[in-house]
């Protein structure tokens, strides 16, 4: 049973929600952390980079959120231009932030950005070094085009991911993307990720089993992979949008859920944000 967050303690957790350059889910993401009791600041990346000491600014926060949207119009590849700007202007600061125990959450375009930065899955990085090389990416969906639909996610309870603790066995979220198929630089990288349970969530069929079949899996990711975490479980990214399930009414079957007595008091996505806040308090 997950312990309830103390409102007094939770409000001391500070979350930096990065936005700008075509991103558009900052309000929902900030609201998710606010519902969890944390203090969330929405900051344009340009404003952060123009500060004389962005590292000092980062150090003021417990968690950095990379939100969904269409950074730089998804030109070249989703998250590529945004990730390059972060790597070359803020890379060492982000590496230090992670080394110091900071958490990071990437949703949709934010997940794509974390992967482009090398922050996921981040298998061989040594503490004190810079950002590692990229070892995975997200490419066009097998069925080309933008897919917007609700999906079921099977949660790996053996994963070290702090954000998905206690959310299983099935989590439901909307997903909306055209480039969400997760691929790895090599088979050995994929095996290491699988062996370490660094895929916390997988697209699931009606029976709750991971699937590669459309439409339950909207992009064709091998093994149904819908997200990644690092070995500490404190850096996590996923393609579906927990930020779009903050209210029970967000669910397309919310009326039927009520008739069956299954309607949650809050949107299930809030629990994922609460887990991030809880992990910050535990560190």
pLDDT tens profile 22-65? 999 999 999 999 999 999 999 999 999 887 677 678 989 999 99
In a domain, 156, yes or no: yes
In a domain, 193, yes or no: yes
The residues, any chain, with a CB within 8 Å of residue 83's CB and separated by 6 or more, are 112, 113, 116, 117
In a domain, 15, yes or no: yes
pLDDT tier at 283 (50, 70, 90 boundaries)? confident
Q: Considering its fold, how many domains does the chain have in total? A: 1
In a domain, 2, yes or no: no
- Where residue 40 sits, what CATH number does that domain have? 3.40.50.880
What percentage of the chain has pLDDT greater than the value 90? Answer: 92
In a domain, 103, yes or no: yes
The residues, any chain, with a CB within 8 Å of residue 46's CB and separated by 6 or more, are 20, 21
> Containing domain of residue 99, as a range?
7-282
Question: Over the stretch 196-243, which tens digit does the pLDDT of each residue have?
Answer: 999 999 999 999 999 999 999 999 999 999 999 999 999 999 999 999
In a domain, 204, yes or no: yes
Work out whether the CA dihedral 269, 32, 14, 63 comes out positive or negative: positive
In a domain, 1, yes or no: no
Q: How many CB atoms lie within 10 A of CB 164?
A: 25
Q: What number is the average pLDDT over the span 13-29?
A: 97
Question: Over the stretch 104-129, which tens digit does the pLDDT of each residue have?
Answer: 999 999 999 999 999 999 999 999 99
Q: What number is the average pLDDT over the span 147-157?
A: 97
In a domain, 188, yes or no: yes
Q: What predicted TM-score, i.e. pTM, was given to this entire model?
A: 0.96
């Amino acid at each position: 049973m997950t312990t309830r967050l103390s409102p007094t303690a939770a409000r001391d957790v500070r979350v930096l929600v990065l936005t700008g350059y075509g991103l558009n889910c900052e309000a929902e993401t900030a609201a998710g952390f606010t519902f969890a009791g944390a203090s969330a600041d929405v900051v344009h990346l340009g404003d952060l980079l123009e500060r004389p000491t962005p590292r000092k600014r980062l150090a003021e926060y417990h968690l950095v959120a990379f939100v969904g949207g269409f950074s730089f119009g998804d030109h070249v590849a989703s998250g590529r231009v945004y990730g390059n700007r972060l790597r070359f202007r803020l890379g060492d600061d982000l590496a230090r932030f992670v080394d110091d125990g900071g958490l990071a959450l990437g949703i949709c375009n934010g997940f794509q950005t974390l992967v482009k930065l090398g922050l996921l899955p981040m298998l061989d990085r040594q503490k004190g070094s810079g950002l590692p090389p990229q070892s995975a990416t997200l490419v066009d969906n097998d069925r080309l085009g933008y897919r917007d639909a609700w999906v079921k996610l099977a949660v790996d309870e053996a994963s070290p991911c702090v954000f998905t603790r206690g959310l299983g066995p099935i989590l439901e979220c909307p997903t909306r993307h055209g480039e969400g198929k997760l691929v790895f630089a090599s088979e050995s990288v994929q095996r290491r990720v699988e062996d370490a349970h660094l895929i916390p969530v997988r697209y699931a069929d009606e029976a709750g089993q991971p699937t590669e079949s459309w439409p339950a899996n909207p992009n064709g990711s091998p093994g149904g992979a819908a997200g990644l975490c690092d070995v500490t479980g404190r850096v996590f990214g996923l393609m579906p949008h927990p930020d779009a399930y903050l209210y029970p009414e967000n669910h397309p079957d919310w009326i039927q859920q009520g008739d069956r007595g299954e309607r949650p008091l809050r949107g299930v996505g809030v629990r994922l944000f609460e887990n991030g806040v809880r992990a910050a308090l535990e560190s």
